[in-house]
Structure 1
Amino acid sequence: MTPESPARTTAPTSYRERLTLKWWMWPVALLVVVILGVEITLGFASLPIWVPFAALTPATVAVMIWIGRITIEVSGGELRVDDARLPVEFIADVVALDAEGKKEALGIGAHPLAFVIQRPWIGPAVQVLLNDPDDPTPYWVISTRRPVELATALLEARR
């Protein structure tokens, strides 16, 4: 890298989103912890009552945080989805999809080599069509709460 060429990481981020869980999923998960803890306590009468809850609660919280860890970012001339990276020069087109469009894109006619980051609790998505002769992946489908903003950011970054 020469002094005149800036590093790709110094470019401003034009889009950033984290695919977190919806707020109501946390109380539901904790309710499941309570139910499972009671069931385990009933099955093992000699087990102290606090042990199942002490094991299940942090495990459940860790899984919930892990499920909501995916970050989408358009920055530095590339699209980053979790640890996957796509230079914007290989993007042919971007289509913002509503919930029905996402369902169709992931349905029976979906390409088996497509790259998919799909979260069922997020309805909309974007479909990123690729133009890379060295890559067999025809497109990416990425869940997003703001499909039009992501599509716009990708098309602007491509210019």
Structure 2
Amino acid sequence: MQNAPGEARPATVAVRYRERLAPSLWLFLAAALGGPMLALVFVPAGSAVALVIGVVATIAIIALMILGSPRVEVDGRLLRAGRAWIDASWLGEPEIRTGEEARQARGPALPARGWHLIRGGIDGVVVVPNIDPADPAPSWTISTRTPDRLAAAIDAARAAATTSA
């Protein structure tokens, strides 16, 4: 059960887990070099102009990287991964993968029809089976820096979904 980008999301309850899958520090440092490189282009127009353009470009690049990063949330009975969401009553037991298991889950063992929110530079992965027979995605594979916390939040949401059903 996924919502379209323009469709309203269900009302939220207490947030059990929230994470923004922002790029790693090394990517921020690499992106921050874009501003000074752009400033070099504008040096002939004046050093003050070049400095301002370089600073503004660096701030804009980093802000866009942060704002454009998807979020993973578990609130109430919902799991949200990026723009998609699913009711926890349709989720199976979450599986935590780290190290070589996470590499396999992101690569050779990644189901072609599953829902994926994979980000490079983030080692942990949580794989959650989707037990909804009408949903074509058999599982959700989600990158996370804290797979144990995400799995615990999904378990709590599943428990809340079964007690309120």
Q: Which amino acid aligns with 2:23?
A: L
CA distance in 2, matches of 1:66, 1:32: 18
| CA deviation string 1:103-141 (max 9, x = no partner) | 111213422211111111211110011101111101111
Aligned position for 1:72: 72
Quickly say closer, same or farther: Cα 1:35–1:99, change in 2 above 3 A: farther
Give SS of 2:94's match: strand
Counterpart selection for 2:31 from 26, 29, 32: 29
Would the aligned equivalents of 1:8 and 1:76 in 2 still touch at CA under 8 Å? no
Q: Which amino acid aligns with 2:35?
A: V
CA distance in 1, matches of 2:157, 2:35: 44
CA distance in 2, matches of 1:110, 1:17: 22
Quickly say closer, same or farther: Cα 1:154–1:54, change in 2 above 3 A: closer
Would the aligned equivalents of 2:37 and 2:54 in 1 still touch at CA under 8 Å? no
Q: Give the alignment's TM-score, normalised by structure 1.
A: 0.77
Unaligned runs of 5+ residues in structure 1 are: 1-6
Alignment length (residue pairs): 147
- Once superposed, which parts of structure 1, at least 4 consecutive aligned residues long, lie more than 6 Å away? none
Quickly say closer, same or farther: Cα 1:21–1:90, change in 2 above 3 A: same
CA distance in 2, matches of 1:8, 1:62: 28
Would the aligned equivalents of 2:35 and 2:56 in 1 still touch at CA under 8 Å? no
Q: Which amino acid aligns with 1:63?
A: L
Where do 1:104-119 residues align within 5 Å? 104-119=104-119
| CA deviation string 1:11-30 (max 9, x = no partner) | 32222222223344333322
Give SS of 2:16's match: strand
CA distance in 2, matches of 1:96, 1:104: 12
